[in-house]
Structure 1
Amino acid sequence: MKADKAKATRLLKTARGQIDGILKMVEEDRYCIDISNQLMATQAILRNINKDVLKSHIGGCVKEAFEVGNEEEKIDEIMAIMDKLSK
């Protein structure tokens, strides 16, 4: 992985902590809107991590593939990810 591993690890641990907190909120039958707000906050963290990973992939792996003439496979990968993100 070419993304900033320390940053990704820190953010993933934060998201994991938030998910643990959300589980506790559900178990305690907390207010739905509070749970929803925490879910959206966790999703935002995960989106940002994914954005960083994909940016690093394009700047590293995809760039390298274009330099050696193996761009078709990487283009297909990026298109598949774009399809998933648009759903």
Structure 2
Amino acid sequence: MNEEKKKAVVLLKTARGQIDGIIKMIEDDRYCVDISTQILSVIGILQKANLNILDQHLKHCVRTAILEGETQGDEKIDEIINIIDKYIK
């Protein structure tokens, strides 16, 4: 596992812990704005983890595919475009 994936795993484990905390906040009938703030924090962590994975993908998988040939490179680029499209929606 490379460094970007390791960073993503740490972030995802952090998000998992925060989600458990959010569930407890809801069960304890905590203040809604505090809960919402924590949810936004988890969303930020998930986005950062996703960017780490995409960074790794671009630097390794896409680069390799482009060097191996036009078809493989085009397929990988199309995958990234689809992800970016989901991000902006």
Percent identical among aligned pairs is 53
Q: What is the number of residues matched between the two proteins? A: 87
Q: State the one-letter code of the partner of 2:54.
A: L
* Residue aligning to 2:18: 18
**Structure 1 partner of 2:76:** 74
| 1: CA distance, partners of 2:4 / 2:54 | 11
Return the letter of the residue paired with 1:53. Answer: I
Higher relative contact order (CA 8 A, sep 6+): 1
Quote the residue 1:50 is aligned against.
Answer: 50
Runs of 4+ displaced beyond 3 Å: none
Structure with greater helix share of residues: 2
Q: TM-score, normalised by structure 1?
A: 0.91
Structure 1, gaps ≥5 residues long: none
Q: Which sections of structure 2, spanning at least 5 residues, go unmatched?
A: none
Could you state the TM-score of these two structures normalised by the residue count of structure 2?
0.89
